Structure formats: structure tokens, C-alpha cells
Structure 1
């Protein structure tokens, strides 16, 4: 908690913040970036927390990576058995907290924090996954919901396959926007793919395919594959400010076969082994795989569609094969990898259907911020969540990148104004142009 810096100006109580994930720590995120929220921090105490299962709140773990190893045979039965074994490992390493993670329970924790702070209503600013948490809180506690702004709006319970498909389209739109910028890039650097955005897209597809066939091998024996290119692209597209770095990294790998730049943007990583706790050293260390383990645990706890456990390997393989063309149509680059996330909850208990049933909960009006070029939470999710919440106003940010508050002074002014007691944006002021 960071106390209000100007409490003499009619303090407003506490503002709870969640920075996303699921699996992201709130305590470290607020401590590292408090200056971004300085205007809100004049009249609010800024408060954040590590959600249950995350960071210092009984962290869940899978004992390492959740990826199925290369040594597992490629047939469907072997792959599904390996996924079930991964799920058992997560339960073993996480302990008794694992069945109780999930957004519905975190929303109840949020209300407990509100009560402990002495606030009659919850004032809240959520980003990315934090928007799902805010919407669930508004549905559970509509009469305790105060001023709420949600930026980078997450889905409220689409089936995993539909979520993955929409994500593939959103990431492809963001990549297309980057390549259009790259094609217009001025100066001697220019764009390694020339001035035609369409052929630039084909060149990136060719790069991914080429490195999947023949990975780049480092002096230490490490491999850099086409899928590592995909991972770097997905990470880099989160922030438009990194466009120049991404363009330079692509030029480096294309011209010199050097993946260093892409690796710095988000290349291959391996989860470190879980550290052993020292009983005399205070709180146990946070497992290195906690963010990944918590992300999967929460998403699966929020998902009621867990029919794969009841389907045989042949039926699962058939369904994935039928989905494959649609995913490739959405994005040849991002679609194939996102198709695999359809099985991310295989072997886990069924999740709640509460989030999927949210429909006009009767909470006060909520401000939703949707960025047109958002690669992680596509703009259509903003519109859908507005429809589900009923009382909501959408502020459209015409820029790129994930969320708008930090990138756009226009978005920041609208959000800060509403959260500090001002009106929701009027019908003629619900668009923030790119770059403003």
C-alpha cells in the first residue's frame, strides 16, 4: 500500500490494482511502476497484492516446465497420458491451495481486502487478466462495486478453442500493423523486408518455416527455432515502443543469421528447477515456474469445458485436426502454436461456469478500455464484455500494443478523471487516437 500523496485534497480511500496474468505479482508490479499512477496516487491509497497461488500467496508450482518432453511418442494416446502426468505433477508440487485458485475465489479475496482496508466500496483499476477479475467482482458484489476501470479487456469464459482462435487473429492483426510500419520506416535502416507489407508478411512466414526445418545452432549447442521466432514476435508486439528493436532484430537474423536480438525480446527459455526451502530462512522462495503454473491453474479453474478427459485419444486427435485449417487461416504464424493451448487443461478437474453465466449483474457503470491493435486481448472482447456487464462505457484506443493506459495520455486522462469522481466519457469523447 502506497499512501495518498496529497490527502488534504479530499482523500478517496483505496484504489485496488491488478496488473494481469493470471500469475502476475501485484506487490512487485506496483512497487516498480508507482510513478505511472502518480495522479491517482494523490487522492487514493494505491494498493495491490499477490493473488492466491501467486508470488508470496502460497505459490503453486508444477516442479518445472509444463511442456511435454520431446521423448514422448507423437501418437495421441502417449501425448495425452503425458499431459495427464503433468497435471498430476502440478497437484503434487502445489499442495492444498491448488483446488482453490481461480478468479471467483480471488474476487472474494479482493472483497476481503476491501473490508480490511475499511472501504465501503471497492474502487478498482485492472489490466489484462485483471479485467476478468474486476468483472467477476462486479458480478459477485454489485452493491460493493465503486469506481471501476478495466483496460485490455479479457474474455468472460469463451471456450478454450474460441479464445485461442480469437487470440491468433488478434496477434496477426498486431503483426500486420507492425509490418506496415516497418515498410514505411524512414532512414538508412529501413525495413529488411522492403516497402511492401504483404510480401513482408510472407517473408516472416518463410523465416518461421525455415528455422523450424533448420534451427540456428549457437556455440553452446542451443537451438533457435521458428517457434522461438513466434514467441519473440508475440512478446515484442505487446509494446509499440519496441517496434524499432523488433525491426532491427529481424534484420539481424535475416542478414547475419544471428538470433541474439530476437532472444533478447523473448526467445527460448527453460524453467529453473524448484529451489529447496530452508526452514530457518523465513518465507519459502517462490518457485521459478510459479507464473506459468499459476496462469494455467487459474485459466483452467475458470473453464467449465473439460470434456477431453472423457474423450478417447482418437476423438481428441480428430477434433484438433478439424480445427487446424481454421487456425492456419487465422494466422499461419501464430495459429499452429495456439491450437496446442486447446489441451492446456487436459487432466485437470472441471472448472466453474460462473464467469460464463455473467449477464447484466446490476453493478454501477464500468469504464472499459479497448485497444484496436491489442495482440493479447483483442478488441472484440471489449465489446463482448461490455454487452455482458450491461452498464459499461467503452473507450476505444486506436493505437497498438497491449492495454492503453501507460501508452496513451488520452486514455490515462479519461481513466484518471473517472476514477477520481468525474463522469464517464461522453458519446463524442469515447475514442483516443493513436499516439495521443
Structure 2
């Protein structure tokens, strides 16, 4: 391992903790990650200052309130048609005070990601987060990465731009690995163990999943997340994406990255070292802890998230993954090993299928059946290490169109 490239996320990289208050840009500020990050910032005004916010634009009142409370310089929305409602909401919040700069359009988040700051927190959901991720890295910002999709679909692009240690992971699993890896050298690592709650359907067979509903899939037992991520947790696609992410972040081969089911979601992931010891990072389920690592490392933020009451008895369980009922992790390993545009095809097809499931156009098992069909039809990618942004966009466009075609065909056949 000593001759392999430096990992993108490396807790051993030296950071200067004496730089004073950090300027932060929050992408996806009205989503789950963004709102919790802002709560953390507002509770620690001596440590952090938010200079810019970006959001899709559908929650104008919340975005305007965030802008006023944080006194940001710039507010960005992806949808230009959201600007009138945003201006009105900002006017109500600011009164006679000058309004912040407003950016709008599909490139707005990318613009603020490259703006002057210390850290960019990318909390956008989906592969649309790729361009802001690349912009932040190219501008030399520290990237607190919650948008796993941008790393997965554009792995070689991200690795070409990122300096060693420039990315701090915000996913709870990867923040856990990041912290546990600080206990040893890369040569000491035997394997990474990524934990999965098992989602709402843990213990069910594939046949029992045939008729589960949208409401069933959105009833996650331990985490409160957006609908897309929650469905991804139900199919365990989220865990498959995290396996690819772990490989890219820490430069550990796929055959040394294991997934285990841990229903309580207390242990967020583990590192097994060559001497037989295993280090686990554990906290009650709360994303403010990983967010604090992302924007504050190498310093810890006191009381960022709740701690365990060790005087209270509790039981922690671990189970093997049921690969028959949940084939997503195996498929993710496959596309991760293929590389090139294969991960982009996997992710884009899944996003389309999740949307179809949430809209009632595709059954639950149809999500992975359709994604598998699209990945198989795509075949072996040819781009390899010469992957370009255009390659990714074209592969995603094809995968989305093909997933929609297969979904429409399945719907028509079911009605016939």
C-alpha cells in the first residue's frame, strides 16, 4: 500500500487549526444536511461564518430566513423561475436593509462553490453536485463532501483535481472511517467495514418486497432523510454507493471493503487493522457530528451532537448482508471495478427508477431490476482513466433515457 497514491480523504494531513473563524459556503442549504449544518454554525459563531448559500429554490421562505440569520453575501438558486419568490421572501426578512446578491440558474451553485471561503459543504443530492465539487477543488477550497454521487460518477475527474486530504467526508460512514483511520498508517489497514442499518425492510425476502409501498420505503427506522436517500437506504443502493466512495476516498481495494448490517445505527463504520484490532466510531444517529468533522477538522466542535449515556444498558447487533434480497451492493462493486462511465450509468439509472417508484410507476423490486438491466446493456466502459465531464454527462443522459424506456415498458406490460 505504501506505493499507492495518497488518499483523497486523509486524517493524517496537517491542517492549521489556528486560522480563526472559518468562512463556509453551504450548498443544498434547505435540505437535511444544509439545515443541520446551519444549526451547527449558529451555535458556534466564534468558529464558523457562512458567506454563501445555494438551494434548488423550492423553499424560498426558508432560504431567505437562513440568509438573514447568517448575514450571507450571496444566495444562489438552481431554478431561475424561483427568483421572484426569493426576492419577495428576502424583502420580508431584510426590510429596509440591502439584500444579498442573488445568483440563479443551473450553474449558480458552481459559482458560489468557487467563491472566496475556507470550506465548501456540498450537501446537494444527486449527480448534479459534480460541477460544484470540481469547482470547489479547482479553487483550492477544502471540500466537506456529503454529495457522494459527485465522487462516484466523476471519480477520476475528482481524483485528478483533489490534493491529498483536500476532501473531508460528511457521510456518517465515511466520517467514521476517516476518524478510525487516524489511529494507524495505511499499511496497518486490513479492511474497512461499512455498517448499514438494513433500512425498513431488513429481514424480508425478495418475494416479500414485491408489494411494499412508497410509505413503507420512506419509514426509515433510525434516520430522518430526504425521500431519494431514504429509498436508496431501503434498497441498500446507498450502501453500494458508499462502498464505491470508500474505495475512492481511501484507496482501499474493493475486496477489502465489507458491508455488515447494524440495525441500531450506533456504530457508523469500522477499520480492522493487521494486528487483529478493530476500531469503531460510535455515536447516537445524528448527522451534526459528521458535519462538524467535515467543516471543523482537525478540531472537534464541543457538543456538536448527543453522546451516549453509558450508564444505560443497550444492545448492539451485527448481521451479514442478504445479497439475494438486496443485490445493490454487489452491483455497485461491479460498476466500481469497471470504472469509467459505469458508476455514472448505475447512479443515473437509479435516480430515475427511484423517481418512478415514488411516483407509483415502478414496484420496489423493479428499481434494482431496471438498474441492473441498464448497467448490463451499457456493458464495459471504454473511457477508463481518460474520463471527461462530457463522457459522464452523455452516459448519464443515455442511462436516464433507457431507464425511463424500460420503466414505461414495464408499466404498460403490468396494465395489459
Q: TM-score, normalised by structure 1?
A: 0.26
Q: 1 or 2, which has the higher strand percentage?
A: 2
Structure having greater relative contact order (Cα 8 Å, sep ≥ 6): 1
Q: TM-score, normalised by structure 2?
A: 0.27
* Structure with bigger gyration radius: 1
